[in-house]
Amino acid sequence: MPQINLLPDNVHVDVGTIYCIGRNYIKHIQELENEVNAEPVLFLKPAASLITQHREIELPAFSSDVHHETELVLLVGREGRNVSEDHALHHIAGIAIGLDLTARDTQTALREKGLPWTVSKGFETAACVSDFLPTQHFQDLGALEFSLHVNGELRQQGDTSLMIFSVPRIVAFISSIVTLEPGDLIYTGTPHGVAALAPADRLDLAMGELRATFTVKSA
For the ranges 22-31, 57-66, 104-113, the lowest mean pLDDT is seen at: 22-31
Confidence of residue 102 (pLDDT cuts 50, 70, 90): very high
Range of the domain at 206: 3-215
Surface-to-core class of residue 54, CB atoms within 10 Å of its CB (0-12 exposed, 13-18 middle, 19+ buried) = exposed
Q: pTM, whole model, 2 decimals?
A: 0.96
Measured CA to CA, the distance from residue 184 to residue 3 in angstroms comes to 11
User: Is residue 37 scored above 80 in pLDDT?
Assistant: no
How far apart CA 58 and CA 109 sit, in angstroms, is: 21
Number of domains in the chain: 1
More confident residue, 26 or 52: 52
pLDDT of residue 129: 98
Percent of the chain beyond pLDDT 90? 89
Residue 28 pLDDT > 90, yes or no? no
Check if the beta carbon of residue 164 is closer than 8 Å to that of residue 36: yes
Judged against a pLDDT cut of 90, whether residue 210 lies above it is answered with yes
Residue 128: per-residue pLDDT: 98
CATH assignment at residue 77 = 3.90.850.10
Tens digit of each residue's pLDDT (9 = 90 or more) over 114-158: 999 899 999 999 999 999 999 999 999 999 999 999 999 999 999
Is residue 219 scored above 80 in pLDDT?
A: no
Phi and psi of 87, rounded to 5°? -110, 5
Q: How confident is the model at residue 32 (pLDDT cuts 50, 70, 90)?
A: low
The pLDDT score that the predictor gives to residue 25 is: 87
Weakest-pLDDT range from 47-51, 56-60, 98-102, 113-117: 113-117
Is the pLDDT reported for residue 35 higher than 90? no
| Range name among 22-26, 40-44, 99-103 with the lowest pLDDT average | 22-26
Mean pLDDT on 24-46: 80
